[in-house]
């Protein structure tokens, strides 16, 4: 791949992630709590699926390189998903604190 192709792909990825971020913010503002609940449920289901895939990789093969690659991949996904859950929890705590904060006179 030449430099122009790499730049094009990087630019396309930046554009895609930017618009996904904008859409997420818009949905969060327009729909609010139901949107966050749907995301939380999806995140929990995804974490459970990652865990199940991690466990099944140990049971389904004897190829040590395949097991290692699967474990590393699934562990990275699980760490990322748990971090997302943590961020959502912190955001929920911040929103609650802001709602309960006394209003200045």
CA atoms within 13 A of residue 81's CA, in its CB half-sphere: 19
- Separation between Cα atoms, residue 105 and residue 102, nearest integer Å: 9
The residue ranges of every structural domain in the chain are 1-31, 32-98
Q: How far is CA 16 from CA 19, 26, 71, 84, in A?
A: 5, 15, 29, 19
3-state secondary structure 15-35: HHHHHHHHHHHHHHHHHCHHH
pTM score, whole prediction: 0.55
Instruction: Write the pLDDT tens digit of every residue in 12-50.
Output: 878 888 888 899 889 989 998 898 888 888 878 887 887
Mean pLDDT of the chain: 80
Q: How far apart are the first and last CA of the chain?
A: 61
At residue 30, the pLDDT reads 94
């Amino acid at each position: 791949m030449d430099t122009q192709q790499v730049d094009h792909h990087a630019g396309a990825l930046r554009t895609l992630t930017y618009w996904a971020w904008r859409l997420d913010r818009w949905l969060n503002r327009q729909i609010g709590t139901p949107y966050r609940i749907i995301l939380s449920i999806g995140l929990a289901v995804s974490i459970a699926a990652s865990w199940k895939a991690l466990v099944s990789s140990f049971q389904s093969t004897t190829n040590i390189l395949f097991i290692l690659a699967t474990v590393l991949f699934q562990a990275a996904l699980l760490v990322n998903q748990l971090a997302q859950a943590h961020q959502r929890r912190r955001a929920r705590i911040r929103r609650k604190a802001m709602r309960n904060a006394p209003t200045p006179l």
